[in-house]
Amino acid sequence: MWKMSNKVKALMLASVLFLIQASPAFAHERWSVDQDGQHAGESHWLDWPNLGIISGGLLLIVLVILAQRSAWYRKFELRFEKLQQTLPKGLEWRFVAVLAAVMLIAYAVTGVFLAPDLLLPGVTVTVHSGAQITRAILSGDSLLYWNPSTFGSLAQLLLGIVLLSQASFLIPGVLILVVALPMAVFYFAPDLLIDYVVEFAALAFAFIFFGMGASSLDRRIPTWLKLDPSRYAKLPILIIRIGLGLTLVILALHNKLLDPNMALTFLDTHYLNFMQLMGFTGFTDIRFVFAAGIVELAVGVLLIFGIATRFVAAIVFVVMGTTIVILGPDELIGHLPIMGIVALLLYRGSGGFRLAPQLLTGKNIPEDRTNRVKQASHTA
């Protein structure tokens, strides 16, 4: 097996430490600042320092590819593969469902819809007298004047209860697609929704395909539709991995690289530019936002192509945990589903369909062939 040199190991360690220090890269800036922002019109310049940051992002991807080719990474993966043999099948998806349910129920009772910055208006329910109720029924009018908060809260509460009960995964997945996301599109501006659509759509499709073989209730649906659940067994992990990767790419582009307004406003009140704290006073907030965006973009690309998924998931888990500790309960509740997804990818890996496995895993390295010859000679 191909071995890493000490220089490569040192570079990888530096990359991991940089990712942990750059934990604000994975924060949702819009959850903590006014939606108008204070830095409208500011943008990045493609100068030499930013070109150096882009090169650092490319180097990060190369180092992760090298990590996947190493012997220790294979040992790292084998630990989780052995763990899968001792734990119940599907436990990881049930864990994700519980975390998603907790978030949905919490938002249902606090007037939030799917994310902290998607705030629903207050509930308005009018109580009618007996005569008013009779007239309303005869005229076909509604007895209750519902508003977005009423529908949004009930939808989230229903989804949360079903997911928490584990009675079905397929039905909540369908409800997210046909009820929750259309409601979000109807009530909120596209600029707010763009950060979340892919995340929840991927979660919904993953629940649908996982649910086909997960519970007795869900198994009846593919039987009725004459579908074979085994044909779709590999799709949930693939969908959720690519969905998380695309979500990180969207967050990097939308909130940091193309429009740094919100990220800069976030840094005005959260002093997280650790480069200045380390003495690099020339590393301004806007340059820090650019670096954070490049890091988030690189991690998203690695997940999309399934490169060293467990290694990347482990780093993201630590980085998000650091972000939650720094920013508090809102960050925790909003990131519960993503934390569950990251834990799932750490446990299960890429789930197949990754980029150029023969190139990235080192299976065709001459040293591998030498080891196989030695093993064959020893056996003989």
- Read off the DSSP letter of residue 33: S
Q: What is the pLDDT of residue 14?
A: 54
Mean pLDDT, all residues of the chain: 81
Give residue-wise pLDDT tens across range 37-53: 788 788 999 999 999 99
- Read off the DSSP letter of residue 283: S
Out of 52-61, 276-285, 332-341, which region has the weakest mean confidence (pLDDT)? 276-285
146 confidence band (pLDDT: 50, 70, 90): low
Inform me whether the pLDDT recorded for 125 exceeds 60.
no
* Calpha distance 152→114 (Å, rounded): 9
> How many other C-beta atoms are found inside a 10 Å radius of the C-beta of residue 166?
15
Average pLDDT score over residue span 166-174:
95
Q: Which residues are CB-neighbours of 205 under 8 A, at least 6 positions away?
A: 173, 177, 235, 236, 239, 243
Q: Which residues are CB-neighbours of 299 under 8 A, at least 6 positions away?
A: 19, 245, 248, 312, 315, 316
H or E element at residue 120? none
- Read off the DSSP letter of residue 337: H
Between 276 and 251, residue with greater pLDDT: 251
- pTM to 2 decimal places: 0.83
Q: What is the pLDDT of residue 6?
A: 59
User: Per-residue DSSP letters for 161-224?
Assistant: HHHHHTS-SHHHHHHIIIIIHHHHHHHS-HHHHTTTHHHHHHHHHHHHHHHTTTSHHHHHHHHH
Give residue-wise pLDDT tens across range 180-214: 999 999 888 898 899 999 999 999 999 999 999 88
φ, ψ of residue 335 to 5 degrees: the values are: -100, 5
C-alpha dist (Å) from residue 64 to 25, 141, 308, 349:
18, 61, 7, 14
